[in-house]
Amino acid sequence: MTRTLLRLEGAGLLLAAVIIYAASGLNWWLFAILLLVPDVSMLGYMSGPRVGAHLYNAFHTTVWGLALAVAGYAFTAELPLSIGLIWLAHVGMDRALGYGLKEASSFQDTHLGRIGKD
Q: List helix spans (H) across 1-118.
A: 2-23, 28-34, 49-59, 62-74, 78-96
Residue 61: C-alpha distances to residues 10, 22, 25, 54, 90 (Å): 11, 22, 25, 11, 10
Percent over 90 (pLDDT), the chain: 78
DSSP string for residues in 103-116 = ETTEEEEETTEETT
What does pTM read for this prediction? 0.91
Q: Which residues contact 77 (CB under 8 A, 6 or more apart)?
A: 71
Residue 117 pLDDT class (50, 70, 90 cuts) = low
Phi, psi of 66 (to 5 degrees): -65, -45
Q: What tens digit of pLDDT does each residue of 3-53 get?
A: 889 999 999 999 999 999 999 999 999 999 999 999 999 999 999 999 999
CA-to-CA distance for 115 and 118, rounded, in angstroms? 8
Q: What is the pLDDT averaged over residues 61-66?
A: 97
pLDDT at 103: 84
Q: Which residues contact 101 (CB under 8 A, 6 or more apart)?
A: 56, 57, 60, 61, 110, 111
